[in-house]
């Protein structure tokens, strides 16, 4: 099969039997963005009825390639060939009419509209001047039945769980007669069980002749579901392989270009007394809904407590309450015995908290400030960074240069604006600032989200080092693998409560996945 | 050796970058002024005038003699103070449209201290005490007047744009009442709404004998430097700018965002109050209804044209002062009404605010950072 791929490369003239089943082909695609060659002579093809995984780190050029195919950008060079004909795709409308549908990582749905309204949006069926909901609903039911998608046309999208919202997106593409469906990081927001459901749906779709491009950075998923895997790195296609002929180590190698340690090197460590103690904590979100209900736990010095859970189960509000960004509505928080309930962030920092915030661009950095200023963002007001209310630029500069080399931040100089750095380096600026202080407690929320493997590895090693040096670490992450690799104990959050607390050694992925999905609630 | 050489090159690289950035920052305002002058010239030509003679007259009137220079500085002084007031608020993420009211309020209070305090105390005060009292009182009045919408913003989320406009109405109407009744000059010959003259001891002297330009102009330049120093060299300035650039990050960094918002508004009002105060103590020696009309609004244009940087504000204020001052000469020479200056100033503001027009006209590349004029309501 790999040879066919090679053949089609070598012989551009009309092909026979085998070639007829290639539904989509990208040839020599090149796309230059200011300062980045996002796609460099990329070749990619998709056969009828296959799942073709496009694997790569963030910034490898996967999304760019798909945006070019979907018509959100135009390539500088190269052609997109759909069903054997060179296609001129200028906008998503063109790609939709060619039978290409895309499910974006962030859903393009309107929560207050029904499923039917969302599905017909932009392609409304109108009968006597009014929206014809019945015809649309009938068609949705037909599609749902045919593909086992299980979508109620009259339900409000906002009421549906994320997994079902994703299905609505898939129905949307099928409703527009898509024969090629692009799924951009579809499992990022799903529980392991929901991901399994999605994979089943993907197989059903391909069995009925739909071809799928599956964009992911998760090796295991690509290996589990794909018929072929194409690996991209730094804008280029590295190789296209069959899952049966490769393994995760080889794929990781292709993705990163070097040998990667997938497991974190972590020694057993003696945990000491509790540094963070949380008693009966309740927190409300900005809509005034209680999203954390009476949560109690502790984190000891020298241990990592991982909070696992699907996003949106109260982890954000919990960590905001623990770091002073949000006022809890009930309960107590202690750091090293000091009652810091509802205290502002400065008190928390001065009690020994380091906080790696969930949203690095919103909370962690001032994008229009230099790296040096950002590295002193929490410490600017005391010596050596300021004396008698006057900032000491020299101290800021020295601090920045020291941290840049100690934490391997890739920046042209300390004076460059943080907004100009890559995501991985932005995160390193935050990690450097927070973990270079003498801290007793580290609260890291999604510390590696959206980062490349190199940065992830580095940040993981720093977190483990903090633990080994005796700090208490509270790690909140939606990546179960990250939680399992770093944590000594794992707490699972579901709908604002901690539904399970286990030692990592005694836990299994499956069991944690069930808890994350709220299985205890159904069995209880 | 190698390392130090590397450092020098990286530093000169940084310097180049800073230079390029400031060049870029200057380019758009300059081109906006140029474009507005060209468009204004078309308007003059359309009205039957000769744009070249008109601009020549304008330039002569503004810079053509020592007296002209002195008058330009006199015009520029309140513009600098008020422009700094608006610019400082912008740096803190706040849109202070209330400079007009803060300025009027500062002028009233400083006039009151200027004429009534010696009588009240029954002694004559030495200038060294009376001037600081009058000026300080005016500054404080402006600061308090601006702190109110600041507090409303910080603690209730009430938007400062709405509230400073409302505070303008209150201040201007209150001023009108005060100048017409309790503070009105009791001189029987007086028919206008104005205060009595302030005491000699409260008057700031002119810089040079025979010219109207006064020490207030020098003070304006000094204050511009102080504002720059405050914003970029002190921890307070760091806090103000951080709240302005990213209030979420400011909160995360332990900055008291609410207090900083109130303080920023108070400082902004203080500068606006200073604009009014200096007009009273150094130029008119009294407060008269209507003298300050428009300074607070022109200040918004000046702050934007100056890219909210103190140095830029000084340059923009002098430009606006020159245009106002030269306009009379222009009218005298060419019979083109002074109102054309308002047209040109409005065009400048429009072109600076809608930077994309200038960038399109002159094929300039877009800059990443922009002045945040205002955030969402209640945000």
ipTM of the predicted assembly exceeds 0.95: no
Model confidence at B238: pLDDT above 80:
yes
Model confidence at B14: pLDDT above 70:
no
Question: Coil, helix or strand for A237?
Answer: strand
| Whether residues A267 and A236 fall in one domain | no
In whole angstroms, give the CA distance from residue A369 to residue A419.
8
Closest CA of chain B from A162, distance in Å:
27
Considering only the beta carbons, identify the residue of B10, B17, B253 that sits closest to A378: B253
| Whether residues A420 and A484 fall in one domain | no
In a domain, A211, yes or no: yes
Considering only the beta carbons, identify the residue of B233, B246, B368 that sits closest to A391: B233
- Of the candidates B130, B126, B88, B120, the one whose C-alpha atom is nearest the C-alpha of residue B272 is B88
- Most B-contacting residue of A345, A371, A404, A411 (CB-CB within 10 A), to test interface: A345
Nearest chain A alpha carbon to B232: A391
Q: Which pLDDT value is given to residue B374?
A: 47
| Whether residues A129 and A273 fall in one domain | no
| Whether residues A14 and A101 fall in one domain | yes
| Whether residues A122 and A80 fall in one domain | yes
Nearest chain B alpha carbon to A381: B235
In whole angstroms, give the CA distance from residue A321 to residue A467.
22
In whole angstroms, give the CA distance from residue B316 to residue A200.
66
**For chain B, how big is the Rg over CA atoms in Å?**
22
Burial class (CB in 10 A: 0-12, 13-18, 19+), A509: exposed
In a domain, A491, yes or no: yes
In a domain, A89, yes or no: yes
- Whether A366 sits inside 8 A of B245 (CB atoms) is yes
Q: Which pLDDT value is given to residue A465?
A: 92
Structure tokens at A504: 């990592």
Final residue belonging to a domain, choices A399, A419, A436: A436
- Contact of A345 with chain B, judged by CB distance below 8 Å, is answered with yes
Residues of B within 8 A of A412 (CB-CB) are 10, 13
- Asked if A79 and A70 touch (Cβ cutoff 8 Å), the reply is no
Considering only the beta carbons, identify the residue of A377, A391, A412 that sits closest to B249: A377
- Whether B235 sits inside 8 A of A391 (CB atoms) is yes
- Through-space distance between the first and last CA atoms of chain A, rounded to whole angstroms: 50
For every residue of A111-136, DSSP letters joined together read TTSBHHHHHHTTS--EETTEE-HHHH
- Most B-contacting residue of A355, A368, A394, A404 (CB-CB within 10 A), to test interface: A368
Interface of B with A in 1-60 (CB under 8 A): 10, 13-14, 17-18
- Of the candidates B57, B2, B34, the one whose C-alpha atom is nearest the C-alpha of residue B327 is B57
- Asked if B96 and B268 touch (Cβ cutoff 8 Å), the reply is yes
| Whether residues A378 and A457 fall in one domain | no
**What's the helix, strand, coil split of chain B in %, to 5?**
75, 0, 25
- Contact of B209 with chain A, judged by CB distance below 8 Å, is answered with no
Structural domain count of chain A: 3
Count Cβ atoms below 10 Å from residue A22 Cβ, excluding itself.
Answer: 21
pLDDT tens readout for residues B290-313: 877 789 889 999 999 999 999 999
Which position has the higher pLDDT, B3 or A390? A390
The H or E element spanning position B86 is helix B66-91
- Whether A419 sits inside 8 A of B368 (CB atoms) is yes
Model confidence at B284: pLDDT above 60:
yes
- Asked if A303 and A473 touch (Cβ cutoff 8 Å), the reply is yes
| Whether residues A338 and A453 fall in one domain | yes
In whole angstroms, give the CA distance from residue B267 to residue B90.
12
- Most A-contacting residue of B243, B251, B252 (CB-CB within 10 A), to test interface: B252
Cα maximum dimension of chain A: 80
The mean per-residue pLDDT over the stretch B6-23 comes to 61
Considering only the beta carbons, identify the residue of B234, B252, B369 that sits closest to A363: B252
pLDDT tens readout for residues A319-369: 999 999 999 999 999 999 999 999 999 999 999 999 999 888 889 999 999
Which position has the higher pLDDT, A349 or B47? A349
Q: Which pLDDT value is given to residue A402?
A: 95
- Most A-contacting residue of B18, B234, B246, B369 (CB-CB within 10 A), to test interface: B246
The mean per-residue pLDDT over the stretch B195-202 comes to 92
Q: Which pLDDT value is given to residue B167?
A: 95
What range does the domain containing A37 cover? 2-256
Q: Which pLDDT value is given to residue A524?
A: 38
Considering only the beta carbons, identify the residue of B235, B254, B369 that sits closest to A378: B254
Which position has the higher pLDDT, A33 or B142? B142
In a domain, A31, yes or no: yes
- Whether A369 sits inside 8 A of B233 (CB atoms) is no
- Whether B235 sits inside 8 A of A380 (CB atoms) is yes
Considering only the beta carbons, identify the residue of B14, B245, B251 that sits closest to A369: B245
Phi then psi for A234, rounded to 5 degrees? 50, 45
Closest CA of chain A from B375, distance in Å:
15
In whole angstroms, give the CA distance from residue A496 to residue A283.
9
Closest CA of chain A from B152, distance in Å:
20
- Asked if A333 and A322 touch (Cβ cutoff 8 Å), the reply is yes
- Contact of A35 with chain B, judged by CB distance below 8 Å, is answered with no
Model confidence at B373: pLDDT above 60:
no
Nearest chain A alpha carbon to B248: A363
Q: Which pLDDT value is given to residue B368?
A: 46
- Of the candidates B41, B80, B46, the one whose C-alpha atom is nearest the C-alpha of residue B58 is B41
| Whether residues A102 and A208 fall in one domain | yes
| Whether residues A118 and A72 fall in one domain | yes
| Whether residues A176 and A223 fall in one domain | yes
- Whether B246 sits inside 8 A of A373 (CB atoms) is no
- Asked if A140 and A151 touch (Cβ cutoff 8 Å), the reply is yes
In whole angstroms, give the CA distance from residue A324 to residue A301.
20
- Contact of A85 with chain B, judged by CB distance below 8 Å, is answered with no
In whole angstroms, give the CA distance from residue B319 to residue A92.
50
CA angle A459, A464, A468 (to 5 degrees): 145
Q: Which parts of chain A register pLDDT below 70?
A: 1-20, 34-36, 58-59, 256-265, 450, 519-524
- Of the candidates A111, A235, A101, A117, the one whose C-alpha atom is nearest the C-alpha of residue A178 is A101
- Kind of pairing between the strands at A390-391 and A386-387: antiparallel
In a domain, A222, yes or no: yes
Model confidence at B99: pLDDT above 90:
yes
**C-alpha distance from residue A93 to each of A88, A180, A284 (Å):** 11, 14, 42
Closest CA of chain A from B245, distance in Å:
7
> Residue A252 is part of a domain; what is its CATH number?
3.40.50.300
Q: Which pLDDT value is given to residue B122?
A: 86
DSSP letter (8 states) at residue A40? E
- Asked if B54 and B336 touch (Cβ cutoff 8 Å), the reply is yes
Q: Which pLDDT value is given to residue A263?
A: 65
Residues of B within 8 A of A395 (CB-CB) are none
Structure tokens at B36: 């507005």
Count Cβ atoms below 10 Å from residue B311 Cβ, excluding itself.
Answer: 15
Final residue belonging to a domain, choices A231, A256, A281: A256
| Whether residues A291 and A386 fall in one domain | no
Residues of B within 8 A of A381 (CB-CB) are 235, 238
Structure tokens at B105: 């309020």
Model confidence at B371: pLDDT above 70:
no
In whole angstroms, give the CA distance from residue B285 to residue B114.
8
| Whether residues A150 and A276 fall in one domain | no
- Contact of B66 with chain A, judged by CB distance below 8 Å, is answered with no
In a domain, A360, yes or no: no
Closest CA of chain B from A75, distance in Å:
21
- Asked if B280 and B114 touch (Cβ cutoff 8 Å), the reply is yes
In whole angstroms, give the CA distance from residue B341 to residue B57.
12
- Contact of A419 with chain B, judged by CB distance below 8 Å, is answered with yes
In whole angstroms, give the CA distance from residue A276 to residue A263.
27
**C-alpha distance from residue A455 to each of A249, A252, A308 (Å):** 18, 14, 21
Residues of B within 8 A of A365 (CB-CB) are 246, 249
Ramachandran sector of residue A372 (left: φ over 0; alpha: ψ -120 to 50; beta: rest): alpha
- Asked if B284 and B74 touch (Cβ cutoff 8 Å), the reply is no
Query: What's the half-sphere exposure (Cβ side, CA atoms, 13 Å) at A354?
Result: 24
Ramachandran sector of residue A286 (left: φ over 0; alpha: ψ -120 to 50; beta: rest): alpha
In a domain, A287, yes or no: yes
Residues of A within 8 A of B256 (CB-CB) are 344, 346
- Asked if B141 and B148 touch (Cβ cutoff 8 Å), the reply is no
Given CA atoms A248, A253, A256, A259 in this order, what sign does their dihedral have? positive
**For chain A, how big is the Rg over CA atoms in Å?**
25
Phi then psi for A99, rounded to 5 degrees? 85, 25
In a domain, A359, yes or no: no
Model confidence at B178: pLDDT above 60:
yes
In whole angstroms, give the CA distance from residue A58 to residue A17.
36
Phi then psi for B194, rounded to 5 degrees? -155, 160
- Whether A364 sits inside 8 A of B252 (CB atoms) is yes
Closest CA of chain B from A496, distance in Å:
23
Final residue belonging to a domain, choices A256, A287, A304: A256
Question: Coil, helix or strand for B98?
Answer: coil
Q: Which pLDDT value is given to residue B187?
A: 86
Residues of A within 8 A of B10 (CB-CB) are 412-413
In whole angstroms, give the CA distance from residue B325 to residue B72.
6
- Whether B242 sits inside 8 A of A346 (CB atoms) is no
Interface of A with B in 280-339 (CB under 8 A): 323, 325
- Whether A325 sits inside 8 A of B252 (CB atoms) is yes
Considering only the beta carbons, identify the residue of B10, B233, B235 that sits closest to A381: B235
Long-range contacts of A382-388 (CB under 8 A, 24+ apart): A386/B234, A386/B235
- Of the candidates B243, B266, B277, B230, the one whose C-alpha atom is nearest the C-alpha of residue B111 is B277
- Contact of B254 with chain A, judged by CB distance below 8 Å, is answered with yes
- Whether B246 sits inside 8 A of A367 (CB atoms) is yes
Structure tokens at A434: 């927070």
CA angle A137, A139, A141 (to 5 degrees): 70
Residues of A within 8 A of B238 (CB-CB) are 373, 380-381, 391
């Amino acid at each position: 099969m790999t040879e066919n791929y090679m053949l089609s490369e070598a012989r551009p003239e009309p092909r026979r039997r085998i070639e007829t089943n290639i539904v989509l082909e990208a040839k020599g695609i090149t796309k230059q963005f200011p300062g980045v060659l996002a796609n460099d002579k990329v070749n990619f093809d998709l056969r009828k009825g296959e799942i073709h995984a496009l694997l790569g780190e963030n910034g490898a050029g996967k999304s760019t390639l798909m945006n070019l195919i979907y018509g959100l950008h135009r390539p500088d060079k190269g052609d997109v060939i759909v069903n054997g004909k060179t296609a001129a795709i200028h906008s998503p409308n063109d790609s939709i009419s060619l039978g290409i549908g895309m499910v974006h990582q962030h859903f393009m749905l309107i929560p207050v509209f029904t499923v039917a309204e969302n599905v017909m949006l932009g392609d409304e069926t109108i009968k006597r001047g009014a929206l014809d909901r019945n015809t649309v609903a009938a068609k949705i039911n037909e599609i749902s039945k045919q593909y086992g998608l299980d979508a109620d046309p009259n339900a409000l999208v906002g009421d549906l769980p994320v997994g079902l919202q994703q299905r609505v997106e898939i129905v949307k593409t099928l409703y527009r007669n898509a024969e090629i469906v692009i799924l951009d990081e579809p499992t990022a927001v799903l529980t392991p069980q929901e991901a399994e459901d999605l994979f089943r749906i993907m197989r059903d779709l391909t069995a009925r002749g739909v071809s799928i491009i599956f964009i992911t950075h998760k090796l295991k998923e690509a290996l589990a579901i794909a018929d072929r895997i194409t690996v991209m790195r730094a804008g280029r296609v590295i190789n296209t392989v069959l899952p049966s002929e490769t393994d995760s180590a080889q794929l990781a190698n292709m993705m990163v270009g070097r040998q990667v340690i997938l497991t974190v090197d972590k020694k057993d460590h003696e945990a000491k007394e509790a540094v963070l103690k949380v008693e009966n904590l309740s927190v409300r979100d900005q809509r005034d809904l209680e999203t954390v209900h009476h949560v109690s736990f502790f984190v000891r010095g020298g241990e990592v407590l991982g909070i696992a859970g699907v996003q949106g189960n109260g982890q954000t509000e919990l960590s905001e309450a623990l770091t002073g960004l949000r006022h809890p509505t009930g309960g107590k928080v202690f750091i090293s015995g000091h009652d810091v309930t509802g205290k502002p962030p400065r008190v928390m920092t001065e009690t020994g908290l380091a906080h790696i915030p969930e949203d690095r661009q919103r909370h962690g950095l001032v994008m229009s400030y230099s790296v040096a200023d950002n590295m002193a963002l929490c410490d600017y007001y005391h010596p050596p960074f300021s004396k008698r209310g006057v900032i000491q630029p020299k101290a800021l500069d020295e601090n920045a240069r020291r941290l840049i080399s100690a934490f391997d931040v890739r920046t042209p100089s300390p004076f460059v604006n943080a907004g100009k750095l890559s995501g991985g380096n932005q995160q390193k600026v935050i990690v450097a600032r927070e973990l270079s202080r003498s801290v007793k407690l580290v609260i890291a929320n999604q510390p590696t989200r959206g980062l490349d493997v190199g940065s992830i590895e580095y940040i993981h090693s720093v977190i483990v080092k903090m633990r080994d040096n005796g700090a208490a670490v509270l790690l909140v992450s939606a990546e179960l693998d990250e939680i399992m690799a770093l944590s000594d104990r794992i707490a699972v959050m579901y709908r604002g409560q901690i539904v399970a607390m286990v030692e990592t050694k005694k836990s299994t992925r499956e069991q944690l996945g069930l808890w994350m999905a709220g299985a205890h609630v159904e069995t209880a | 050796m190698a390392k130090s050489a590397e450092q020098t090159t990286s530093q000169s690289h940084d310097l180049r970058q800073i230079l390029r950035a400031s060049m870029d920052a200057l380019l758009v305002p300059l081109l906006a002024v140029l474009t507005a002058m060209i468009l204004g010239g078309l308007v003059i030509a359309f009205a039957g005038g000769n744009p070249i003679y008109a601009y020549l007259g304008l330039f002569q009137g503004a810079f053509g003699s020592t007296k002209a220079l002195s008058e330009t500085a006199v015009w520029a002084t309140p513009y600098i103070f008020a422009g700094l007031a608006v610019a400082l608020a912008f740096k803190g993420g706040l849109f202070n449209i209330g400079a007009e009211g803060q300025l009027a309020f500062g002028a009233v209070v400083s006039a009151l201290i200027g004429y009534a305090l010696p009588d009240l105390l029954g002694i004559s005060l030495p200038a060294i005490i009376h001037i600081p009292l009058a000026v300080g009182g005016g500054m404080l009045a402006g600061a308090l007047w601006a702190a109110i919408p600041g507090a409303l913003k910080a603690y209730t989320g009430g938007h400062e744009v709405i509230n400073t406009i409302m505070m303008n109405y209150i201040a201007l109407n209150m001023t009108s009442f005060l100048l017409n009744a309790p503070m009105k000059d009791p001189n029987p010959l007086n028919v206008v709404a104005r205060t009595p003259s302030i005491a000699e001891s409260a008057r700031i002297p002119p810089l040079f004998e025979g010219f109207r330009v006064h020490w207030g102009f020098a003070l304006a330049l000094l204050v511009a430097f102080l504002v720059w120093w405050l914003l970029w060299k002190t921890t307070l300035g760091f806090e103000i700018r951080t709240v302005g650039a990213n209030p979420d990050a400011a909160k995360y960094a332990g900055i008291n965002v609410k207090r900083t918002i109130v303080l920023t508004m108070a400082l902004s009002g203080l500068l606006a109050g200073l604009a009014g105060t200096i007009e009273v103590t150094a130029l008119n020696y009294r407060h008269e209804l209507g003298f300050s009309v428009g300074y607070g609004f022109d200040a918004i244009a000046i702050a934007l044209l100056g890219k909210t940087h103190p140095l830029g504000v000084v340059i923009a204020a002098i430009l606006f002062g020159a245009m106002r001052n030269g306009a009379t000469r222009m009218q005298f020479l060419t019979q083109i009404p002074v109102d054309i200056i308002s047209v040109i100033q409005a065009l400048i503001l429009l072109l600076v605010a809608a930077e994309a027009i200038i960038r399109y006209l002159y094929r300039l590349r877009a800059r990443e950072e922009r002045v945040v004029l205002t955030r969402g309501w209640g945000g």
